[in-house]
């Protein structure tokens, strides 16, 4: 079975189950296990960090339970906390794997760029008081396109065997007071998006020139880049799969958050 999960990551240590803190995975597995009347383990398309949100996280699980898609959907949502919801559930071919069948993932990072911090959305957006030049950020972001060694934007504790990633699309734009960064790649290193955004913010503040981002890529030195951007502005909002798996696409909420795919 496959499913799509939406979640506010503010209250969780991330997607992955941890012994010391609440996780999205633990909540989802508990709800599916109740409905299936058996212990169910969930595999996701991409593990998100503490405080990071998801609008279209794709998962799969094996089960012996006989339930319709509607029964799974209604039953699981009835057993989930308000900040986590299932969009759909469907039976898929045994060959489908939420992580290894995926061909690309889409992340968006949303910055509230105004003089005061939002009272209602402070958990869901990153705040930057200094005016950002989104056009300079867009010029710089284009240097990320293609396959590169992303060591300069890799967390020290990243466990990936290779620092190379292939970026298919990247863009920065403004909608009113919001500055949005979107990146699509085959996969991502630990803290890669947040580390890139941290350096893009330095460029948007005019502290650095756009060419600096290209230099960071070539230097392969994390110490030369800016600090990691906060987690609350980051969203996993899309996962691509070969068409044979027939994974539904779902756009959630305002355009600044939902993927344009």
How far apart, in whole angstroms, are the C-alpha atoms of residue 3 and residue 97? 11
The active-site residue out of 8, 49, 133, 221 is 49
Structure tokens at 261: 């795919």
How far apart, in whole angstroms, are the C-alpha atoms of residue 168 and residue 185? 5
How far apart, in whole angstroms, are the C-alpha atoms of residue 156 and residue 141? 22
Structure tokens at 41: 């383990």
Note whether 6 and 55 are within 8 A (CB).
yes
Does 49 participate in catalysis according to the annotation? Answer: yes
How far apart, in whole angstroms, are the C-alpha atoms of residue 175 and residue 110? 10
Structure tokens at 154: 């890799």
Q: Are strands 53-60 and 84-90 parallel, antiparallel or unpaired?
A: unpaired
DSSP letter (8 states) at residue 152: G
> Which positions are catalytic?
49
């Amino acid at each position: 079975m496959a499913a799509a999960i939406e979640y506010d990551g503010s209250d969780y240590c991330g997607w992955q189950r941890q012994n010391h803190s609440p996780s999205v995975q633990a909540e989802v597995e508990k709800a599916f296990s109740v409905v299936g009347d058996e212990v169910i383990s969930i595999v996701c398309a991409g593990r998100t960090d503490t405080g990071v949100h998801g609008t279209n996280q794709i998962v799969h699980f094996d089960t012996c339970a006989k339930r319709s898609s509607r029964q799974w959907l209604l039953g699981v949502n009835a057993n989930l906390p308000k900040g986590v919801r299932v969009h759909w559930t469907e039976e898929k071919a045994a060959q489908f794997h939420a992580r290894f069948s995926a061909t690309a993932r889409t992340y968006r990072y949303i910055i509230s760029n105004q003089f005061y911090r939002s009272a209602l959305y402070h958990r869901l957006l990153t705040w930057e008081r200094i005016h950002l030049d989104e056009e300079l950020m867009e010029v710089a972001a284009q240097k990320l396109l293609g396959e590169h060694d992303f060591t300069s934007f890799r967390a020290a504790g990243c466990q990936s065997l290779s620092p190379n990633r292939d970026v298919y699309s990247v863009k920065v734009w403004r909608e009113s007071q919001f500055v949005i960064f979107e990146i699509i790649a085959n996969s991502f290193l630990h803290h890669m998006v947040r580390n890139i955004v941290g350096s893009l913010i330095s460029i948007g503040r005019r502290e650095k020139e756009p060419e600096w981002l290209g230099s960071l890529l070539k230097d392969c030195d994390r110490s030369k880049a800016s600090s990691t951007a906060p987690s609350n502005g980051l969203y996993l909002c899309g996962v691509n799969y070969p068409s044979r798996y027939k994974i539904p696409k779902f756009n959630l909420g305002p355009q600044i958050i939902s993927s344009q795919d």
